[in-house]
Amino acid sequence: MAPRLSFQVLGPLKVSVDGRPLLLRSARQRTVLAVLLLTPGRAVSVDALTDAVWPSDPPVTARNQIAICVSALRKTFRDEAGVDGLIETLLPGYVLHRDGHYVDVADLYESAAAARAAAEAGDPSEAAARFEDALALWSGPVLDGMDGGALNGTVDRISELRTDLTEEYATVQLQQGRYRSVLECLAPLVAENPLREHARALLMQAYHASGRRSEALDCYREGRRVLVAELGVEPGAELQELHRTVLEGEGRAPVRTAASADTVAPDAPPGPTPAVVPRQLPLAPEPFVGREKELEALQGLVPPAPGFAGAMTVRVATVCGPAGVGKSALALHWADRVAGRFPDGQLYLDLQDGHGGPGTPEAALERALRALGVPGTSIPAGVEDRAALYRSTLDGRRLLVVLDDARSVDQIRPLLPGRGPARVLVTSRDPLNGLTGTLAVARVELGAMSPAECLDLLAATIGEHRVSAEPSAARRLVELCDRLPLALRVVATRLLSDQRWSLRQMAARMEDRRERVSVLSPGESGVRSGVWLGYRALSVQAARLYRQLSMLDVPDVPSWIGAPVLGVTPEASEELLHQLVGAQLLEIRPAPGGGPRFRFQELMRRFARERCLAEDAPQERRQALERVLTAVLTLVHAAQEQLYGKGEAPHGGSSPVEPVPGETVSELVADPVEWFEDERETLGALVAQAVRDGQTERAWLLAVGTVPFYETRNYLEDWRRTAECALEGARNAGDTRGAGTMLRTLGTLAIYQRRYGEARERLLTALTQLERTDDVQGRAIVRRNLAVCARFLGDLGEAARYCEESLVLFRRAGDNSGLSHALGLLAQVEIEQGNPERGVELSNEAIEVSYEAGSLRSRTQNLYRLAEALLGAGRSAQAERICHDVVGLTRGQGDRLGEAHGLCALGEAQWRQNEPHKARASLRRALRLAEEVRDRFLQARIVTHLACAEAIRGGSGAGEPLDWAETEFRTLNAPAWERRAGRLRAVLESHDAPRPIEGSVLAGLLADR
């Protein structure tokens, strides 16, 4: 069956092949592909593609660069998916053929046409179903996060189609009496598009037919106000006629039965989000032969189909045996065969740590929970709590968990599911006898393959004709390899790589004991001989790379790693790594980001380290590690500059940062957060290794460079562990600047965890250390963070003083990114001191500086502060416009917390302008996001603003939520907000609830601290 590509543009651009994500790291390639996907089957001119990639001032080489992008896309689809002919050159440009592949926008057009045809034919049930199909295709704004001149017009048309379809869907739902569904789909649409009169009319009809007459009238009044204010016109005939009908009480819908219509339930909570379905099984070694008895024994692990009262199956199976016997190959081959019986997904967890030792259950549980869709902010710290959440998440799911290379029962016990259809398959050299008596376990003791199976494996690998031509030599090779699959694969690879080798010659070579190492060693029989065969056949460069890679205490490596290790190009590095994979000396696996990752089996790493210690001088080993650390620092700083702009990342004195050979930096960190995600474990492991090797400066530079990523993804434990490791190394080496920098980093972590007293203590100690160095930038950052502590501890005067001091130092250091941040913080302090106009002035200055720094993140944060300053100054309409920019920018950066803050401020700006319906829509979206990221302080603020919006529309019931918010503020030590919530609650309790309150009155209640 030919591979099938899937393309999604109704949301962020996504590409997959047979369900496996395919990442395009180049922004230009993504833009070119997006333009072609928006009009599948139609030629797009090179000029249109140029406009999309370079909306203004395209380079003179634009046409050539577009051709290069298309060529790269074709190569990606050919190499990664085995698909040719997808993009064809057709004057005046290119066309994308979707035959045999899936493009969601094409599916959208087809579903929309079918829905409209059914509506015209008078079949509302069929029409509703087809409209639901069309609307379900969206996962966000079209091509979310992308922009370009040639994209905007088509994107706007598709976005408009979504709005049209929503209105048409509401129309057929009204015909069916599904008023609650109409309210749920139209209320957000009308809030975001207040000038669409037909949508508002449909919403009014749904309110009226549901018996919610007052809300129907509110809906009309809000629409009239917006139309008069924005366009200077009265509502059209449709709205006016409907308004008269509601006023006169006519046309109310008859009572409906449960079978004919849904029950009206205002403000019903949304349904549960669909569970994430992981598909993590790596490819098993090919070819796979034999082991039929063992495969049959594992069938007892398959749960019966739902509703089938079959025999009880076991929940855990173990595959145990010595290294090289094929445990992982058997497990993965069986898991792939039965994957369809586990429709809720397959988890794969390698239980080794970065340097071949046993990994911790805590780390494995974190990977599992994230793969199952649990946000990082929701993952508890302790192993028991993580295990409990893991069992709860697996409950009721038909899911297979493969635990590879377990070392002990204690390591895997927290990873076993509770009751339910989830199943676990474990591979281990340990017999895991401790599971007996506590669980029903299917056991497979895997030994050497039979001679016949070994011959079949050899024939399947090198060809039946070669085995048949030399049967005696083939049988002897099988015995010399001790009938172990790993050794046989290595020998077969060597025979394939050089056809001049006969089986007899290979057998004769292996008869020499000097060609085999520890043939009879328990647990390693036959494996080392195979490793030797593969190693001795390597080129000089490949062997050197193999040896020196083994000295890196990392779980796996990317394809460019050979560039710093050997001083070769990244392309040459990847070629050498593939040679090592071909020799069965390294394993390859796809990374989440799409690029290949390479890793050692433990025995292979041990062998390679022995050779490195024997063949490479200590100085050579140390220099290789230095080059790797320097190259990684180059990438970390480049990624950090993309997030924060130039100047934020500190640079060392004796460890200058050098470019990665091959000029691959910009391509590797095109998406800095995803690059950090791919390299997360590697970066932490390298910090620890640098400390052990005495390279303390590189260790703390690398540790501080990872902080923006840990903060963005909420990896607080990684942040703490890495910083404490680097701090210990700096202290032991007497590195004052390094110790001060790590104390500052740990102080920042304490701020993030809202432990302000601890943060202040660490920061003051850091300042004492850094005052003894020439690190002006570091001292500036500490003062800025001390200002944050002072602000949250309620001392705004001290906060302003620290801010002013940091501004002087940031200017002296030439750090515009830090300067922008400090200006924005000072603006926040001025706002809270009751000087909003000064806050506006400082926020605008901070935004200007962020442009100079090239920091989109800093600019976004300062736009938010500008909005807050404008709100404090009573300029709510201006604040609303700024908030829309903040929401768009944070959404494009994938910053959920920032988006929640932007929506919160947007809702506040809207209720202050007496627009409660718009405010409630914005604030409810903000609350969902704040709950996702588990920010209780922000949740309490949003609830407070929702109470204001409710009071403005004349609603009731704000008291209980305000009680909750006031308690939260008290718990979180936020006295100013606690007083605001208390004042607001007191006023609302004494007010006549049905009578609306002006926004200016409530704004005054929230103004005082």
Lowest average pLDDT, out of 6-15, 515-524, 767-776, 794-803, goes to 515-524
Tell me, what's the pLDDT at 1000?
81
Return the bridge partners of 316, or none. 424, 441
- In this prediction, residue 1009 carries a pLDDT of 61
Question: Per-residue pLDDT tens for 962-992?
Answer: 888 888 888 887 788 888 888 888 888 776 6
pTM (two decimals): 0.57
What's the pLDDT score for residue 247? 82
The mean pLDDT of the chain is: 82
**Cβ-contact 486, 284 below 8 angstroms:** no
Residue 436 in this model has a pLDDT that exceeds 60: yes
* C-alpha neighbours within 13 Å on the C-beta side of residue 284: 18
- Residue range 810-838: average pLDDT? 88
Dist CA 715 CA 366 (whole Å): 10
Q: How many CB atoms lie within 10 A of CB 939?
A: 21
Q: Where are the alpha helices (DSSP H) in 177-212?
A: 179-192, 197-209
Q: Which residue did the predictor score with more confidence, 421 or 632?
A: 632
Position 28, amino acid: R
Query: Is residue 699 scored above 50 in pLDDT?
Result: yes
Higher pLDDT, 514 or 474: 474
pLDDT value at 873 more than 70: yes
> Lowest mean pLDDT: which of 151-165, 214-228, 435-449?
435-449
Residue 267, pLDDT score: 35
Task: Identify any residues that bridge with 587 across adjacent strands, giving them in sequence order.
Answer: 599
Indicate whether 897 pLDDT > 60. yes
pLDDT (0 to 100) of residue 702: 94
- Identify which of 576, 718, 733 has the alpha carbon closest to the alpha carbon of residue 652: 733
Q: In degrees to the nearest 10, what's the CA dihedral of 24, 26, 30, 31?
A: 180
188 confidence band (pLDDT: 50, 70, 90): confident
Q: 287 pLDDT exceeds 80?
A: yes
b/e code 704-726 from CB counts within 10 Å (16+ = b): bbbbbbbbbbbbbebbbebbebb
Cis bond upstream, residue 555 (ω within 30): no
Candidates 673, 675, 681, 665; CA nearest to 644 is 673
- CA dist., res. 854 & res. 850, Å (int): 6
The confidence score (pLDDT) of residue 690 equals: 94
Q: Lowest mean pLDDT: which of 407-411, 850-854, 884-888, 911-915?
A: 850-854
When pLDDT is cut at 50, 70 and 90, the band that residue 488 belongs to is confident
What is the structure's pLDDT at 537?
72
pLDDT tops 60 at residue 629: yes
Residues ≥6 apart with Cβ < 8 Å to 320: 327, 427, 428, 429, 430, 431, 432, 443, 444, 445, 446
Angle at CA 16, nearest 5°, toward 13 and 22? Answer: 80
Confidence of residue 314 (pLDDT cuts 50, 70, 90): confident
Of 457, 384, 372, 378, nearest in space to 422 by CA: 372
**What CA–CA distance (Å, rounded) separates 191 from 920?**
9
Tell whether the model's pLDDT for residue 262 goes beyond 60.
no
Q: Are strands 400-406 and 346-350 parallel, antiparallel or unpaired?
A: parallel
535 pLDDT band (50/70/90 cuts)? Answer: confident
CB 918 within 8 A of CB 949: no
For residue 774, how many other CB atoms are within 10 A of its CB? Answer: 9
Q: Cβ(683)–Cβ(707) under 8 Å?
A: no
Distances (CA, A) of 343 to 283, 340, 403, 787: 18, 6, 19, 52
* Spatial CA neighbour of 701 closest among 752, 737, 662: 737
Of residues 575 and 993, the one with the higher pLDDT is: 575
